Amino acid sequence: MAAQPSLSLRHADFWIARLCLSVVVILQFAVREDFQLEPGDYRVSFLKWVPRMVAILLALLFFATGWNQFRANRATSDENRYLIARWHRFIRYSSLLLTIAVVLINFVALLALILDLADTRESMCSLLFHGFEIWLINIVGFALLYWELDRGGPTASPFKHRERYDFLFPQMLSDNPNKPSSFTPGFIDYLFLAFTTATAFSPTDTLPLSNRAKLLIMLESSIALVAIALVIARAVNVGQGDCPPSVAFLREFLTCH
């Protein structure tokens, strides 16, 4: 079995993941806040309050993950390790469910945004901005999902052997001249995988091995394709309303490129 990464690298991975989760939390509080919906529409409650509930649960999970890692590093008996392993399973499954919830909520927000394309009450610049929000949340959400699923998740090694591989990274290839003696992908590797999938609409240097990995790649590519091709392209080509400076700059950048 491959050697595990250093403790400092593992801590860095968790801090980077928490930073990305913080971005998701902020965007979930902002995404689709200005829907032009009739009072009493069920989408108002869903799109306003469910993302906020998920954000609160994610914030609690930050502390639970750090607390359990702290206990795992200081466990001295088999009984302690057993209890910590049980908490690990609970935290891991909770993290998976919350990450899936983020992806699903983002998908529902994309569907609602598509319905708003024909609504003249919302400016095209607003559609452009929210399309970018959905695209960015899509990247972070799937990066977290890949990270949690592949090889049993980032915290699997202290408790059990690694599960099956879902992705084949170039550092794992035998003919790679820069192949390290041991390689365990970190969160940055999965974030890069999610980013390239959302921009190229397919995996680039990292190949999906399992069926679930292939299905997730297909789903992320589809969401990114709709968000970019349908929402952002329409906003750039049609929108003529007044824009905030940041959105206007983004529109000019996309138009020139």
Q: Is 177 inside a domain boundary?
A: no
**What is the number of other CB atoms lying within 10 angstroms of the CB of residue 167?**
21
CB under 8 Å to 186, separation ≥6 — which residues?
5, 9, 12, 13, 154
Is the pLDDT at 167 greater than 70? The verdict is yes
Interval 48-59 mean pLDDT = 72
DSSP 82-115: HHHHHHHHHHHHHHHHHHHHHHHHHHHHHHHHHH
Contact of 171 with 205, CB cutoff 8 Å: no
Task: Flag the least confident range among 42-46, 228-232, 240-244.
Answer: 240-244
For 185-222, the pLDDT digits (tens) are 888 999 999 999 999 887 788 889 899 999 999 999 99
**What is the number of other CB atoms lying within 10 angstroms of the CB of residue 170?**
15
What range defines the domain where residue 245 resides? 7-165+183-256
Q: Is 2 inside a domain boundary?
A: no
Q: Is 175 inside a domain boundary?
A: no
pTM for this entry: 0.76
Cα distances (Å, whole numbers) of residue 1 to 161, 172, 184, 222: 8, 13, 11, 35
Is the pLDDT at 101 greater than 80? The verdict is yes
pLDDT at res. 201: 81
Domain count, the chain: 1
For 169-183, the pLDDT digits (tens) are 888 776 555 555 567
